[in-house]
């Protein structure tokens, strides 16, 4: 029986049906289900499935984004209960995200944030046009493991290097890994500036984030 | 008769405009510059300062739109009108702000330099299909603070044609206008006979950023033509429906024109754009998609219903090399834009979602543009009657080559492509090396550079410009201007 409910939970994510996901989450709590089970055995499987389908070209961006939204909705129902029980979802790490100052492109970055949070990272998305020091300060404040910087313009991309230098100057570089992305960003640029990771797309970003934290 | 594509069913046009006016009230327009908000408030708009949102009533907007000039000219350096922004007159210029150049020898995309830009300017100058230059490439070796004005500097030195350009900052806007005034004979003379138009971009959806708003105001007050480049990204930064995106485009243009005209009524401004659909598999923004061209054609029709001059971004490709995809996307979209009667069509020469410019592609695209311009000439009535009196001595033999008329009219009837277009026999083609269009473009590039005619510029004006640019460059940390390699 519970298996069927888990399947329905996963399906609500695959279908991007936030309202159904929320209903299932509420029902699960009412029937005494462990909220962590609901997430790990139900909803997360839906996210992984959509992520895999996207990677092989069977699902597109709208499916990915809506799956993320449905997941967020389900988690927001389950989180208060987990906090009460003291069984928070194990955070894979804390990420501070932003599109670098001077740049207002955010679609990719927002998608990365959604994917990371549905995968279990704690994400602080600072939005667009984020000054370098704001990113760094927030990372310090939240004891972040990763700063993720997006830029779509080559004119703003150069500031990704400045973020890394700022972390160096403040002695934070050892604690905070840097992920970079955005259309003009390449693996060789990431290497050139000493970033820890780079991904072509949002789905890949989750894997890279997990890898670079494990590499510690 | 100029053949025409009017893609929107007539009843959709007023509906689109009506909904654009609705958007100006709900949700309104985000205007991130206080001076622009004050202008709008002074004219009766409702301003929410905390959220930087302005509600612009239709009546206010329509009054502002009334003073937009329904046509104007861009002039060349010789003072001749070169581009008519108005009606269904169609012009083409290369795409702009390419970051990379396609190296024809290695096939690599590499960061562009000043010498690449100089080459592109010379080619554009020598090709009659291009009515204007653009500031086509970002020169990677030049400090970013003066990147915009430095490329304008090069265009001014190497070309007589008017230029489609844009500034990256408030400060450089005024520097660039000053540079233009050197050859025009002063700021007033420049305003009377503008030799450049500046692109100004709203941010989708429905946002006029601090820089964009200020740019509108500064250009309006200098009476330098402004070209709104609204870029709804259908399905991502604008509604997924093409018609929904056209409504957003209209709202962004109407609000931009309103700010502009309130700053200075009567200054020239263009209803333009660079929209695209969002490819949902790749997360990219294909400029070569047919839907992209449809968006341009549709919003142009809306602009034309007001009588405004129009602009669009077509003739580009998302391919990474100059292959069939590049040809298909560039020529199809260029033709659509031409038939839609768009006054200035930017994009030729570009690959990789406008990130890369290929000089060879620019040369091949000139042929696509030649085809489009010939199409716009339509079916010409050269003779009366059309044919009835042409058979007197033919006597059922294909002897039209012998007719005087053939010799007289063939050049007016047929567009003559350059050698880039192969129309020889297969044997000739083989003898000449079994070349591709790209091969032939490389050859033509060499020929065009050889035959390039530099503009005849007064030495004192050149010196004045160089002094000005050197001063600005030095302020940005560039000790000496790079030598202009030829």
**pLDDT reported for residue A84:** 86
**Which secondary structure element, helix H or strand E, spans residue B349, and what is its range?**
none
Other CB atoms within 10 A of residue B216 CB = 31
Higher pLDDT residue, B152 or B484?
A: B152
**pLDDT reported for residue A89:** 77
How does A6-36 read in b/e, with b if 16+ C-beta sit within 10 Å?
bebbbbbbbbbbbebbbebbeebbeeebbbb
Q: What is the pLDDT of residues B414-453, one digit of tens each?
A: 999 999 999 999 999 999 999 999 999 999 999 999 999 9
Q: What percent of chain B has pLDDT over 90?
A: 94
The Cα–Cα gap between B349 and B372 comes to 15
**pLDDT reported for residue B172:** 93
**pLDDT reported for residue A156:** 87
Q: Which residue out of A57, A58, A60, A185 would a mutagenesis test of the B interface target, given it has the greatest number of B Cβ atoms within 10 Å?
A: A60
Which of B99, B138, B203 has the CB atom closest to A104's CB atom?
B203
B355 touches chain A (CB under 8 A): yes
DSSP per position, B425-482: -HHHHHHTT---HHHHHHHHHHHHHHH-------HHHHHHHHHHHHHHHHHTT-SSPP
The Cα–Cα gap between B299 and B29 comes to 19
**What is the phi-psi region of residue B347: left when phi exceeds 0, alpha when psi lies from -120 to 50, beta otherwise?**
left
Strand pairing partners for B24?
none
Q: What is the pLDDT of residues A74-119, one digit of tens each?
A: 999 998 988 888 877 778 999 999 999 988 888 889 889 988 988 8
pTM confidence score: 0.93
Tokens of A41: 């055995």
For the domain spanning B66-377, the CATH number is: 3.20.20.480
Chain A residues touching residue B203 (CB < 8 angstroms): 104
SS3 B284: strand
Q: What is the pLDDT of residues A41-86, one digit of tens each?
A: 999 999 999 989 988 989 998 998 899 899 989 999 998 988 888 8
Band (A216; pLDDT cuts 50, 70, 90)? low
Q: Which residue out of A155, A156, A184 would a mutagenesis test of the B interface target, given it has the greatest number of B Cβ atoms within 10 Å?
A: A155
Contact at 8 Å (CB) between B250 and B299?
yes
Chain A residues touching residue B278 (CB < 8 angstroms): 61, 107
Which of B138, B203, B283 has the CB atom closest to A108's CB atom?
B283
DSSP per position, B385-417: SSSTTS-TTTTTS--GGG-HHHHHHHHHHS---
B203 touches chain A (CB under 8 A): yes
Band (B79; pLDDT cuts 50, 70, 90)? very high
Contact at 8 Å (CB) between B51 and B27?
no
- Above 80 in pLDDT, residue A215? no
State mean pLDDT over B27-56. 98
Q: What is the pLDDT of residues B201-244, one digit of tens each?
A: 999 999 999 999 999 999 999 999 999 999 999 999 999 999 99
Band (B38; pLDDT cuts 50, 70, 90)? very high
**pLDDT reported for residue B345:** 98
SS3 B298: helix
Spatial CA neighbour of B246 closest among B20, B424, B477: B20
SS3 B168: coil
Taking CA–CA distances from A56, the nearest residue in chain B reads B281
Other CB atoms within 10 A of residue B265 CB = 14
* CB-CB under 8 Å, B209 with A62: no
Catalogue all structural domains in chain A, each as residue range(s) with its CATH number.
2-85 (1.10.1240.10), 94-214 (3.40.50.280)
Q: What is the pLDDT of residues B368-406, one digit of tens each?
A: 999 999 999 999 999 999 999 999 989 999 999 999 999
The Cα–Cα gap between A36 and B417 comes to 70
* CB-CB under 8 Å, B237 with A60: no
**pLDDT reported for residue A197:** 95
Which of A57, A108, A183 has the CB atom closest to B281's CB atom?
A57
Give me the interface pTM, i.e. the ipTM.
0.83
Chain A residues touching residue B108 (CB < 8 angstroms): none
Band (B486; pLDDT cuts 50, 70, 90)? low
B147 touches chain A (CB under 8 A): yes
Contact at 8 Å (CB) between B318 and B352?
yes
Please report the number of interchain residue pairs, chain A to chain B, with beta-carbon separation below 8 angstroms: 31
- Above 90 in pLDDT, residue B330? yes
- Above 70 in pLDDT, residue B332? yes
Chain A residues touching residue B355 (CB < 8 angstroms): 183-184
- Above 80 in pLDDT, residue A214? yes
* CB-CB under 8 Å, B138 with A154: yes
Pairing assessment for the beta strands B46-48 and B53-55 based on DSSP bridges: antiparallel
* CB-CB under 8 Å, A155 with B147: yes
State mean pLDDT over B165-194. 94
**What is the phi-psi region of residue B396: left when phi exceeds 0, alpha when psi lies from -120 to 50, beta otherwise?**
left
Helices B147-158 and B114-126 cross at an angle (nearest 10°) of: 40
Q: What percent of chain B has pLDDT over 70?
A: 100
Residues in chain B: 486
* CB-CB under 8 Å, A62 with B235: yes
Domains of chain B: which residue ranges? Answer: 66-377
Chain A: residues touching B (Cβ < 8 Å): 57, 60-62, 104, 107-108, 111, 154-155, 158, 183-184, 201
How does B430-453 read in b/e, with b if 16+ C-beta sit within 10 Å?
eeeeebebbbbbbbbbeebeeebe
Chain A residues touching residue B213 (CB < 8 angstroms): none
Which of B144, B281, B355 has the CB atom closest to A60's CB atom?
B281
Band (A11; pLDDT cuts 50, 70, 90)? very high
- Greatest extent of chain A over all pairs of C-alpha atoms, in Å: 56
Band (A137; pLDDT cuts 50, 70, 90)? very high
Q: Which residue out of B283, B285, B355 would a mutagenesis test of the A interface target, given it has the greatest number of A Cβ atoms within 10 Å?
A: B283
**pLDDT reported for residue B480:** 85
Q: What is the pLDDT of residues B87-113, one digit of tens each?
A: 999 999 999 999 999 999 999 999 999
Chain B residues touching residue A104 (CB < 8 angstroms): 203, 209
Contact at 8 Å (CB) between A155 and A183?
no
DSSP per position, B52-68: TEEE--HHHHHHHHHTS
Other CB atoms within 10 A of residue B295 CB = 29
* CB-CB under 8 Å, B209 with A104: yes
Band (B477; pLDDT cuts 50, 70, 90)? confident
DSSP state of B132: S
DSSP per position, chain A: -HHHHHHHHHHHHHTT-HHHHHHHHHHHHHTT--HHHIIIIIIHHHHHHHHHHHHTTSS-HHHHHHHHHHHHHHHHHHHHHHHHHT-PPPP--EEEEEEBTT----HHHHHHHHHHHHHT-EEEE--SSB-HHHHHHHHHHTT-SEEEEE-SSHHHHTHHHHHHHHHHHTT-TTT-EEEEESTT--HHHHHHHT-SEE-SSHHHHHHHHHHHHHT-
Band (B485; pLDDT cuts 50, 70, 90)? low
């Amino acid at each position: 029986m519970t298996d069927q409910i888990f399947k329905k939970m996963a399906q609500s994510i695959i279908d991007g049906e936030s309202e159904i996901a929320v209903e299932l989450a509420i029902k699960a709590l009412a029937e005494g289900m462990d909220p962590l089970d609901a997430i790990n055995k139900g909803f997360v499987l839906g996210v992984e499935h959509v992520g895999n389908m996207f990677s092989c070209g069977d699902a597109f961006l709208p499916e990915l984004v809506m799956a993320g939204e449905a997941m967020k909705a389900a988690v927001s129902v389950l989180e208060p209960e987990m906090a009460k029980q003291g069984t928070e979802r194990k955070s894979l790490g804390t990420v501070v995200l932003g599109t670098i100052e001077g740049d207002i492109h955010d679609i990719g970055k927002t998608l990365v944030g959604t994917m990371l949070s549905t995968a279990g990272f704690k994400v602080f998305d600072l939005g667009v046009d984020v000054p370098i020091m704001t990113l760094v300060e927030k990372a310090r404040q939240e004891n972040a493991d990763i700063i993720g910087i997006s830029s779509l313009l080559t004119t703003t991309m150069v500031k990704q290097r400045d973020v890394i230098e700022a972390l160096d100057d403040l002695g934070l570089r050892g604690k905070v890994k840097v992920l970079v992305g955005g259309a003009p960003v390449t693996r060789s640029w990431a290497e050139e500036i000493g970033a820890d990771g780079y991904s072509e797309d949002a789905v890949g970003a989750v894997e890279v984030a997990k890898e670079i934290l494990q590499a510690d | 008769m100029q053949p025409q594509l009017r893609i929107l069913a007539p009843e959709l046009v007023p509906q689109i405009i009506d909904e654009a006016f609705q958007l100006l009230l709900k949700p309104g327009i985000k205007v991130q510059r206080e001076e622009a908000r004050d202008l709008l408030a002074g004219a009766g708009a409702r301003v929410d300062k905390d959220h930087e949102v302005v509600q612009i009533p239709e009546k206010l907007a329509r009054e502002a739109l009334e003073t937009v000039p329904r046509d104007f000219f861009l002039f060349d350096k010789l003072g001749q009108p070169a581009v008519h922004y108005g009606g269904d007159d169609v012009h083409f210029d290369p795409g702009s702000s390419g970051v990379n150049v396609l190296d024809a020898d290695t096939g690599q995309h590499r960061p562009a330099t000043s010498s690449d830009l100089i080459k592109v300017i010379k080619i554009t100058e020598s090709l009659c299909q291009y009515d204007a230059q653009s500031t086509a490439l970002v020169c990677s070796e030049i400090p970013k603070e003066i990147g915009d004005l430095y490329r304008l500097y090069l265009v001014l030195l190497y070309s007589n044609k008017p230029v489609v350009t844009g500034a990256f900052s408030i400060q450089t806007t005024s520097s660039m206008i000053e540079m233009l005034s050197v050859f025009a004979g002063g700021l007033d003379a420049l305003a009377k006979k503008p030799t450049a138009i500046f692109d100004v971009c709203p941010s989708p959806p429905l946002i006029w950023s601090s820089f964009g708003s200020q740019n509108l105001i500064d250009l309006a007050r200098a009476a330098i033509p402004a070209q709104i480049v609204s870029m709804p990204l259908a399905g991502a930064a604008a509604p997924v429906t093409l018609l929904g995106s056209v409504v957003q485009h209209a709202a962004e243009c109407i609000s931009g024109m309103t700010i502009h005209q309130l700053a200075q009524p009567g200054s020239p401004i263009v209803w333009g754009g660079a929209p695209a659909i969002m490819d949902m598999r790749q997360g990219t923004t294909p400029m070569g998609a047919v839907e992209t061209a449809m968006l341009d054609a549709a919003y142009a029709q809306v602009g034309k219903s007001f009588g405004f001059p129009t602009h669009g971004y077509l003739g580009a490709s998302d391919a990474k090399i100059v292959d069939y995809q590049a040809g298909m996307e560039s020529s199809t979209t260029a033709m659509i834009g031409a038939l839609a009667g768009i006054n200035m069509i930017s994009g030729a020469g570009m690959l990789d979602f406008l990130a890369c410019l290929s000089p060879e592609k620019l040369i091949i695209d000139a042929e696509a543009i030649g085809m489009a311009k010939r199409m716009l000439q339509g079916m010409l009535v050269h003779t009366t009657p059309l044919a009835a009196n042409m058979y007197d001595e033919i006597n059922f033999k294909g002897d039209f080559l012998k007719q005087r008329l053939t010799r007289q009219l063939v050049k007016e009837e047929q567009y003559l492509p350059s050698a880039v277009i192969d129309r020889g026999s297969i044997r000739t083609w083989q003898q000449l090396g079994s070349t591709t269009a790209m091969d032939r473009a490389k050859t033509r590039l060499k020929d065009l550079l050889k035959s390039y005619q530099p503009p005849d510029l007064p030495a004192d004006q050149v010196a004045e410009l160089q002094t000005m640019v050197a001063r600005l460059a030095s302020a940005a940390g560039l000790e000496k201007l790079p030598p202009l390699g030829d």
